[in-house]
Amino acid sequence: MAIFEVDNLSLHYLTRFGKKIHAVTGVTFNMEKGEILGIAGESGCGKSTLVNGLMGLFIPPLYPTSGDVRVNGESLMNRTPNDIRQNVLSRKVSMIPQGAFNALNPTRKVKDIAADVMAAHLKNVDKKEIYDRLVERFDLFGMDTKKVLNSFPIQLTAGERQRSVIGISTLLNPQMVIADEPTSALDVTTQKVVIRLIFDLLEKGIFSTMIFITHELPLLRHVADNIGIMYAGEFVEYGTTDQIVFDPRHPYTKALMGAMLSAEPGQKQKKPTAIEGAPPNLANPIFGCRFADRCPVAKEDCKKSEQEIRMVAGRQVRCQYAE
C-alpha cells in the first residue's frame, strides 16, 4: 500500500462575495516509501494551496471541493481542525516552509521551539527526556548540537537555521514531509549539505516520503524520483524524472524545460516566467485547456473540451493532442 495517496483532489477558495476560486483541480498521485516527488510550476500555479490541502489544513476560506488525501490509508478529509492539528500535523505530514530560516520564532531558543512541538503532540514527556531526544536527533545534522539547541535564531548562520527547521519538522518522524524551496536562498555549499542531509534522513527512515517543491530544474533532476508539473491548479504532466526532463510531452512542460535548461549547468536557474502570457484567472469558469491561450501548438477545439488525463509514453499528460 502506498504511504501517501492523493485521489482526484480539488480545492477552492470562497471569497467574501461568495465567488468560488478553483485553486486546485483533479490532482492525483501516489507515493511509495522512500520516494521523492518534485513539483514544479510558476508562481500562482496553486502549489501553496495544494500544500495546505495535502496537510489537511482546510481553513476557511479554503475548502475541499472533492477528492481524498490518505496517509497510510487514513483519510485527512472531514476531520475537525483540532484533530488535524494534534494528530496529523508534524506527526503524519510535516512542512519545511519556504524561507525556512525566518520560520523560527526570533524570541525563542531552538530547543524550546522543538520542545513546543513535542508538547503539542505527545502527552507527559518530561523535560530531560525531551532534551535528550533532541540532542540525539540533532546530532545527525552535522552541527554543534549543544550550541545550536541553546541559541536564539539570530545567533545562528542561515545553514544552521535551515537545518534546525528540518530537524524540528521531522522530530516526530512524519510519514511525509513537504519541502517548499528548501535550498533556494542558500549558497551552493550549504545547498549540498542540506540535500545530503535530506537523503540521509530519508535513508535512515526518519521520514518516509517527501514532496520537494522548487523552480530549479537541475535540483529536481538530482533529487526527485518523480515529477509533477503544475499549471493553473492542475497537474499537466506527471511521470518519472527522466521522462519529464528529457522527454516532455505536454506543451507547457516542453516550454518550461526549454526555458529552464538554457542556462549553464551549475548556475542558479531563473524562475520560469520566460513563457509569454499569464495563467488564467481561476475565479472565472474555465472552458477547455487552461494553457491554450499561451500554447504554441494550440488548436481550435483545445478551448472547447475538458482536458482529461491521458497516458502518453508511460506518464500522465493533460493534453488531448500530446504524444
Partner 1 sequence: MLKQYPTLRYILQRGGWYFITFVVAVAINFYLPRLGSNNPVKIIMGNTSQGLSSEAVKEKEEKYLKEFGLVKVKNGNIVRNEDGSPVKASILEQFISYVGMCFKGDLGTSFQKYPKKVLDVIKEAVPWTIALQLPTILFGWIVGNVLGALAAYKRGIFDKVFFPISLLLSSLPFFVFGMLLVYQFAVVWDCFPAMGGYAGDLIPTFSWAFFSSAAYHYVLPFFSIFLIAAGGQAIGMRSMGIYELGTDYIKYAKWLGLKETRIIAYLFRNAMLPQLTGLALSLGTMIGGALITEMIFSYPGLGMAMLTAIQNNDYPMIQGCTLLITVCVLIANFTVDILIGFLDPRVKAGLQIGKGK
Contact residues toward partner 1 (CB under 8 A) are: 55, 57, 84-86, 88-91, 94-95, 97, 99-100, 102-108, 116-117, 119-121, 152, 154-155, 165, 168-169
Residue 99 vs 205, nearer CB to partner 1? 99
Compute the least distance from the CB of residue 91 to partner 1, in Å. Answer: 8
Compute the least distance from the CB of residue 196 to partner 1, in Å. Answer: 23
Cis amide bond preceding 296, omega within 30: no
- Indicate the DSSP class of residue 242: H
Residue 155 vs 305, nearer CB to partner 1? 155
Q: Which three cell numbers stand for residue 82?
A: 483540532
Residue 120 vs 135, nearer CB to partner 1? 120
- Return the amino acid letter for 5: E
Residue 55 vs 255, nearer CB to partner 1? 55
Compute the least distance from the CB of residue 82 to partner 1, in Å. Answer: 9
Compute the least distance from the CB of residue 289 to partner 1, in Å. Answer: 33
Compute the least distance from the CB of residue 100 to partner 1, in Å. Answer: 8
Lookup result for grid cell 500555479: 45
CA dihedral over 265, 266, 272, 273, signed as positive or negative: negative
DSSP secondary structure string, 215-249?
S-HHHHHHH-SEEEEEETTEEEEEEEHHHHHHS--
Residue 152 vs 240, nearer CB to partner 1? 152
- Indicate the DSSP class of residue 269: P
Residue 36 vs 113, nearer CB to partner 1? 113
| Measured distance CA(157)–CA(67) in Å, rounded | 42
Write out the H or E segment, with its range, that includes residue 53: helix 47-54
Compute the least distance from the CB of residue 43 to partner 1, in Å. Answer: 17
Residue 158 vs 278, nearer CB to partner 1? 158
Compute the least distance from the CB of residue 118 to partner 1, in Å. Answer: 10
CB neighbourhood size of 288 (10 A): 15
Compute the least distance from the CB of residue 148 to partner 1, in Å. Answer: 14
Residue 105 vs 305, nearer CB to partner 1? 105
| Measured distance CA(18)–CA(258) in Å, rounded | 40
| Measured distance CA(64)–CA(52) in Å, rounded | 10
| Measured distance CA(168)–CA(162) in Å, rounded | 10
* Beta-bridge mates of residue 37: 211, 226
CA dihedral over 110, 111, 114, 116, signed as positive or negative: negative
Of how many residues is the chain composed? Answer: 323
- Using alpha carbons, list the distances in angstroms from residue 211 to 55, 119, 196, 207: 12, 26, 16, 11
